[in-house]
Amino acid sequence: MAGRERSRRRSIDHAWLITGPLALFAVVCATITGLVSDEPSGEWGLAAALLAIMIAVGIPVLNFVVRRQSFGMTLTEIPLVVALFLLPPLTVVVIYTVASMVTQTRHRLPPAKFWFNVAKAAAGTSLAVLVLQALPPMRGVGPGTWMILFTAVAAVIVVSFAAVAGVHTLLQGWQAGRDALRSAPAPLLTAAINTSMGLMILIAVRTTWWSVLLQAALAAALVLVYRSYARFFRQHRTLAQMYDLTRATAERGQDGTLADALLGRVRALMQAEYATLWLPAQGRHPELLLTARVDDQGLLDVVYTPAVLRERAATEGRTVAVGRAFGAEQEARRAASDAKVKDVIVVPLRSGQAVIGTLEVVNRLSDVGHFTQSDIPVFETVAAHAAVALENSRLVDRLRHDANHDALTKLANRRRVTAAVAEAVKIAAPGEVVALLLFDVDRLRQVNESLGHAAGDKVLVEVAERLRACAPSSALVGRAGGDEFLVTLRLESAEAALELAGQLREQIRDEMVFDALTLDVDTAVGVAVHPDHGSDAVTLLQRVDLAATAAKSVPGSVQLYNPALESRSLRRLGLASDLRRALDAGALEVYFQPKVTLRDRRLVGVECLARWEHPAHGTVAPDDFVAVAEHTGQLGRLTEFVLRESLRRSRDWSHGERALAVSVNLAARTLTDQHFPTLVRELLDEYGVPPQRLTLEITEAGVLDGTERPIPTLRRLRDLGVRLSVDDFGTGNSSLAQLRRLPVHEVKVDRSFVQGMATDPGDLAIVNAVVTLSQQFGLAVVAEGVESELTLELLQDIGCEIGQGFLFSRPLPYERLEAWFGAQVEPETITVGDLPRLRAVP
C-alpha cells in the first residue's frame, strides 16, 4: 500500500509540468495586457465587492439531473462577466486569481492540485483580458458586447479544458486525456448559461443600480429553491440506491459475491473514493478485509482507513467519523492526517448486540466534497442492511457447508464426496485412475453399547483426524456415514490405490486413550477405481461398499472390488424374500455332524447345522442366508427353527435311554435379545430335553467382543443348565485368560489350526496351548476339522478329548445320521447309560 501511495504521489507531482507553463503563460499574457492597456488596473472598491461575490459563488458545487445524467456546476462565470465589463483588465486577473486561491484553500487541496488550479485560473483570465484588448472596445450592453464577453469567457474555458486534458494525459495516459475532452459539452453548456445570466445581470445593473436589490432577492429565493431541490434529489437518489443495494445484497448473498455487490454500491451511494468491509475471523471464516476504489472494477486487499478508528468503532460499538464537518478527537484527527485522508466514517456492523465487523468509507469524491452529519444516518442505515445481508450470507454458507459436511467429524459427507467423484470421473487423465477407499471401523457398535455413544463419537473423531493427517494433500477425506470413512483421489493405478489403502490403515491403526481407557482401533478397507470398476460416482460408491463388506469378513484386510462380490451381494439381496417363504414353508433342513471322543471314539453329541436347498440357486451357503436373516430381521425365526428341530431330534433319539446331546450355533446378535433365554427354557420344557443336553455355540468374536454386552444373557442361559461353547477360538484377538470371566463350558479350536497341525509347527503349538490352558481352566476342548489319522494321533498326544470332522462324518440329515450310527457303532458297546463306541473309520 505504501508503495502504491508513493507512486501515486509521484504522479501528482508531475502535474507541475503543466502548472509551470500555465503560470508562465499567465505572466506573459498579463504583461502584454499591461503594456497595451491604457488603464490596466484600478476600481479596487468595486473589485473587492466582485471578489467577495466570486468567492461566494465559487465554493458550492451545484448538482442537477437532466435525463438521468448528473451535472455539477459552479457560478463563477457570472461575476467574471460583470468584472470583464466593469473592471480594468489586470484587476480582473488579480481578483479572479485571488478568488481561486481562496476557494482552493477552502477545499483543502494538496499543494500540486492547489497551484495547478490557481495557475489555470490566472492563465485563463490573462488570456481573456488579452483577447478583450485585441477586440473592439465594448460600448453599451448590446449584442456586440455580448459576443465580445462570450469570446472572453470562451478563452477562459478553452485554457481550463486544455490544462485539464494535458494533466490527465500526463498522469494517466492518452485515453484519460481524450475522455476529459469528451466531457467538454456539459461544462461548455453550463458556462454558456452562466455567461447569459451574467449578461442579464449586467444589463439590469446598467439600466439601474436598484436592480441589485431585486437580483439579491431573486438570488436568495433561488438558493432556497435549490436547497429544497437538492434535498429532494439527495433523498430520491439515496432511496433508489438503497433499494438497489438491498436487492443486490439479497441476490448476491446466495452465491458468495456479496462483498463485490455491497462495497461497490456503498461507495457509489456515499460518493466516496473508497469503501471498505472488515470482518474479523469467526469460526471457519478467516478475516476479511476488502476495499472498493473508484474507477477499479475489482476489490482490493488494501485499506485506507486508519486502524485506530476501526478498532475504536469495533470496541466501543459506535460510529466514528473524522472530517471537516465532525468534531472528532485529536487522536482520531491525527490518525486521519497521518493516513492522508480528508474524511472517514466507520460504522460497526451488528448482529444483535454483538459487533461482527465494520463498514467504512473514506474521502468524499471530488476535491470540494466532504462527508457531513447528514451522511451518518444514511450510512448507518446502509450498515444495518449490510449486517443483515452478511449474517444471512454466512447463514446460507453455513447451511450449505453443513449440507455437505459431517457435523461430528467436520469431514465432507457422502453427498459431498459423491459430487466430487462425479466431477473427477468427467476428466479423463491418461495413466491415472480415480480411486475410492472406504474404511470401515471395527467394533464401533460394541464401543457404543459398552461405553456409550460419547465414547463412540470420540473414536470416530480420532479416526477422522488420523485420516485427515495421513491422507495425501490431494485427497478428499469424508465420512460416508456410521463407522465408514471415504478417501478419494487420483493415483497411477489400482495397485497404487491398494498400497495407499494399506499404508493409511497401518497409520491410523494405533491405540486410543480416553481417560483411563485404552482402545485398539482397526479398519477393514474396500477399494474401487475408475474406470475399471465403474463409470459414474453412484456405481463406484456401491462397489467400494461391496469391497469393504468383503474386507470385514477377514478382520483388518484390504479388498479390491471384483465382479464376484457384486454377484454374491445381488444373490443375497434376492434371497431375502425367498428365505421368508422358506421359513414359512419349512423348506430349510437341519443337518447333524457327530462329535466324537478321540480316545475311544464314542459319540458324545452332534452339531446341528441349518441347510437350504434353493429351488433356483441350488445349495445356499449358510454364511449367505444367515447374513440375509440378520439384515432382514429374520434371525430370530431362523434360530428358533434350528432349536426346535434340534431338540425334537434329540428327544426322538432311539439309541440308548437318554436324549442325544445337540449343539446349536448362535449369531452374536442373538445375545442382545433379552427374551432369548426365556425362549430356550420354553423349548426345553416343550420337548422334554434336559438342559445339559443342549450346547449353544457362540463365535469368539461374538462372545469376546471386549464389552460386557453378552454377559447377562450368557449367565441366564447358564442358570438354565444349558452348556455354552466358544466356537472358532483362535481366529480373533482374545486370549484364554478372557474366558475366565465368562460362564462357558467348552472351547472349540478353529479348523484352520487343526488342519495345519501335521505340517505347521506353529499351528501345532497353538492347539497344544489351547488344550493345555483350557484343561487348567476346567473347560472341555473340541477340535474342529479332524480329517486325517495323523491329525487324530497328534490331538490324542496333546490330550484333546473331543473332535469332529470328515474323518468321522460329514454333516448328515437325521435319517442318514441314524443309518451312519447303526453302521459305525459296535453293538457290544451299547449299555444302558453309557456312550456307544464307534468302529474305526477307514
Q: What does each C-alpha distance from 735 to 121, 518, 747 come to in angstroms?
A: 103, 17, 12
Residue 532, number of CB atoms within 10 A of its CB: 17
Q: Which residue has the cell 465487523?
A: 357
SS3 per residue for 558-605: EEECCHHHHHHHHHHHHHHHHHHHHHHHCCCEEEEEEEEECCCCEEEE
First to last CA, the chain: 97
Q: Contact, 404 vs 414, CB < 8 A?
A: no
Q: Contact, 774 vs 781, CB < 8 A?
A: yes
One-letter amino acid of 564 = A
Output the pLDDT for position 661.
92
The whole-angstrom separation of Cα 248 and Cα 648 is 80
Output the pLDDT for position 839.
47
The whole-angstrom separation of Cα 279 and Cα 357 is 4
Q: Name the E strands within 35-186.
A: 62-66, 69-73
For every residue of 620-679, DSSP letters joined together read EPHHHHHHHHHHTT-HHHHHHHHHHHHHHHHHH--SSSSPPPEEEEE-GGGGG-TTHHHH
Please list the alpha-helical segments (H only) found in 668-735. Answer: 676-687, 700-703, 711-720
Three-state DSSP at 4 gives helix
Q: Contact, 290 vs 277, CB < 8 A?
A: yes
One-letter amino acid of 734 = S
Give average pLDDT by consecutive 10-residue segment, the chain, 842 residues: 42 70 86 83 83 77 50 71 84 86 76 82 85 82 81 83 78 70 71 78 76 75 68 62 64 61 79 87 80 79 85 89 82 84 89 87 75 84 81 76 85 91 87 91 74 81 90 91 91 92 86 70 89 89 87 77 70 74 88 91 91 84 82 86 92 78 89 88 92 88 64 88 85 60 85 88 88 86 91 91 91 89 64 49 36
Output the pLDDT for position 691.
93
Output the pLDDT for position 10.
42
Instruction: Give the closest residue to 554 by CA, choosing from 520, 521, 523.
Output: 523
The whole-angstrom separation of Cα 687 and Cα 683 is 6
The whole-angstrom separation of Cα 271 and Cα 363 is 9
Q: Contact, 703 vs 745, CB < 8 A?
A: no
Burial 252-284 (b: 16+ CB within 10 A, else e): bbeeeebbbbbbbbbbbbbbbbbbbbbbeeeee
Please list the alpha-helical segments (H only) found in 317-452. Answer: 330-338, 375-404, 414-424, 444-451
Output the pLDDT for position 323.
86
Q: What does each C-alpha distance from 157 to 101, 138, 443, 486, 668 come to in angstroms?
A: 18, 21, 89, 74, 99
Output the pLDDT for position 639.
92
Residue 577, number of CB atoms within 10 A of its CB: 11
Q: How many residues does the chain have?
A: 842
